[in-house]
Amino acid sequence: MSIQKFLEKNYKLVIGVILAFIFTVSVLNAWWDSAIFDETAHIPAGYSYLTMHDMRLNPEHPPLLKDLAAFPLLFLNLNFDTTQNFWTTDVNGQWVAGHNLFWLNGNDPDLLIFWARIPFVLLSLLFGLFIFKWSKELAGTIGGLLALTLYAFDPNILGHNHFVTTDLGIAGFMMLSFYYFLKFIKDPSWKNVALGGLFLALVQLTKFSSIMLFPIFGLIAIIYPLVKKIPPEEKSAWLFKLKKLGEYLGKSLVAIAFSLLIVWLFYAFNNFDMPKEKLAETINFYFSPTDTENIKNIYTNKTLLVLNETALLRPLSEYFLGIAMVFKRVAGGNGAYFMGQVSNAAFPAYFPTVFALKEPIIMLLLMLFAAVIGFWNNIKAFFDRFKESAQKSPWLTAFRDYLRHNIETLAMFAFILLYAYISITGNLNIGFRHLFPILPFAYILTAKIIIDFCEKRRNIPAKILSLSIVLIFSLLLIVETVTAYPYYMSYFNQTAGGPKNGYNFVTDSNADWGQDLKRLQPFLDEHPEIDKIRVDYFGGADIKYYVKDKYIMWYDSKRPIEAGWYAISTNFLQGSIYDATKKDQETYRWTQKLKPTYQVGTSLLIYRVNENDLKNLN
């Protein structure tokens, strides 16, 4: 039996093995990775939504994923002290709330964080199954298995699928929303209107960047009815197109209205006990009514306060507050280290570079091959259709037929280009994870194009050879990813020197999000010669909880430098060394005269400073 026939016959077994791999390594990392920076805000926020029905914490992200994270916590009998200032007087005291819930209230932080992450692991399995389903529809069983393999053995997916963040969630729900929208486009039945509206709601409840789907879906809903094939019995082509355009636009509006109803219901459930005054306080804090230098803030403030006045519209006030906060955050930028520079302004080369450094080389080669072949195939398909219809009708007919027959792949490819363009030209360079929404589409298109290429080989030996090469590449990808365990979040390919060296190029959630502090504890147990260690840690975990009495607080400008041991997060290290606005005495530039003695995980560098070193350092 050939490998192809074996895979087609036993594809459910293969899927089970792949999903078991995802589940196993994700659960292990969910336990061993310490709390990352963003989880300190997301987890207590979700817990407060389900237990207090009040969204005063972390309003800049929708509630769906936070609710999922908080659901297992309802069974842990946690102590969540809402008599503290983070709840009573602070505006959006999310970070203090997380610190209290995790470390100060007698809860078991490791158990709490672990169970909050499990729903995300399960969600990543569902997304993997759906990638297989969509790819199988487009490219058969082998295409589905290839797309699932690309997804399951992408270290970046495995590095983030167990964290309580929005990144993988928005990627998965965008894919689902796209799929059901395209089903509606092909068949605008009321069933597909309802499904399209449901998944449009879910993606809106996942992350506010989902609003970019509205213009994309709107454009497709306008173009597709204009290129639909006209039945022979229709007397007027333009009348038929106008009727179809009206049908699509009308039903699209119904789907949008249905999605907003679901969003309203979800926000109402999460927020029905939040006092009107507290929401107004939050609105006034982020969008001051007296900010005469920014007229947008004043209009935003007035609109949100009007919506806040009535219980019926208050959920929408909370929803639009989150959207407004995201736009304000993006406009403000974010300090980032990139290739020897630190800046609040975005680097145009940032996302292309991190994509090239953080995806496995095998993955890049497969995607590049698919991109070249796909481009050639589309050019050829268009001109073939042009030749077929040129003698019967103008070139516009060829273009219309081309759009109609390739709507799915063209929509996915257009989304990849648009999202990549927005990311590259945007002002927020905080991690490869912000490119996650394009990845499911990249896996699906890569699998479809490659499998189509193999299947179209004219003779059996050529077909077998091409499929064998794909299999070899897939196995190499699997080996690369398995051997990179457990450093998936900080994965970098060989051109960057691997996970332990990637921080030299870029930090933040690409390399250091605070995931390794829990690994510092067993490291210190293995090194009894370290009686005290000066720690400067970036992340969401509590240093004293893990390091205990060995911990000495440290930061880059603390002087004089002392003899002894140091554990410095690479995010703080690089941000300090390459910040051109700081003087040498305020930075970690002195570490450049030393070599790290150890590296805990990938993000904590351990330095030993001897008495002799102090002469050259202070």
Q: What is the DSSP string of 92-107?
A: S-HHHHHHIIIIISS-
Domain ranges of the chain: 166-273, 275-332, 502-617
Mean pLDDT score, 521-527: 96
Confidence at 391, pLDDT banded by 50, 70, 90: low
- Higher-confidence residue of 226 and 522: namely 522
Mean pLDDT of the chain: 92
Instruction: Note the pLDDT of residue 586.
Output: 94
Q: What is the 3-state secondary structure (H, E, C) of 300-342?
A: HHHHHHHHHCCCCCHHHHHHHHHHHHHHHHHHHCCCEEECCEE
Instruction: Note the pLDDT of residue 386.
Output: 62
β-strand partners of 337: 342
- Higher-confidence residue of 565 and 240: namely 565
237-271 and 39-52 are packed helices; what angle lies between their axes, rounded to 10 degrees? 80
Mean pLDDT score, 159-184: 96
Phi/psi for 394 (5° steps) reads -65, 170
Pairing of strands 533-536, 551-553: parallel
Kindly report the length of the chain: 618
Instruction: Note the pLDDT of residue 393.
Output: 54
Determine the longest span between alpha carbons in the chain, in angstroms.
94
pLDDT one-digit tens code per residue, 188-217: 999 999 999 999 999 999 999 999 899 999
Instruction: Note the pLDDT of residue 398.
Output: 65
Q: Residues 6 or more apart from 376 whose CB is under 8 A from it?
A: none
407: region left, alpha or beta (phi > 0 left; psi from -120 to 50 alpha)? alpha
CB 150 within 8 A of CB 366: yes
The Cα–Cα gap between 410 and 406 comes to 6
Tokens 């490869």 belong to which residue? 432
pLDDT at 264 over 90: yes
CB 453 within 8 A of CB 373: yes
Token pair for residue 447? Answer: 């699998």
The Cα–Cα gap between 469 and 478 comes to 14
pLDDT at 85 over 90: yes
Confidence at 472, pLDDT banded by 50, 70, 90: very high
CB 66 within 8 A of CB 120: no
The Cα–Cα gap between 467 and 454 comes to 6
Confidence at 465, pLDDT banded by 50, 70, 90: confident
- Higher-confidence residue of 426 and 534: namely 534
- What one-letter code names the amino acid at 128? G
CB 602 within 8 A of CB 485: no
Confidence at 381, pLDDT banded by 50, 70, 90: low
Q: Residues 6 or more apart from 221 whose CB is under 8 A from it?
A: 185, 248, 249, 252
Its pTM stands at 0.94
Instruction: Note the pLDDT of residue 333.
Output: 65
Confidence at 394, pLDDT banded by 50, 70, 90: low
Phi/psi for 237 (5° steps) reads -65, -40
pLDDT one-digit tens code per residue, 60-69: 999 999 999 9
pLDDT at 611 over 80: yes
Say which DSSP state 506 is in.
B
- Higher-confidence residue of 16 and 240: namely 16
Token pair for residue 179? Answer: 């799929």
pLDDT at 73 over 80: yes
Token pair for residue 449? Answer: 């194009």
Instruction: Note the pLDDT of residue 396.
Output: 65
Tokens 């597909």 belong to which residue? 192
Instruction: Note the pLDDT of residue 406.
Output: 80
Token pair for residue 85? Answer: 């200032």
Task: Look at 411-420, 502-511, 537-546 and tell me which has the smallest mean pLDDT.
Answer: 411-420
Q: Residues 6 or more apart from 260 whose CB is under 8 A from it?
A: 201
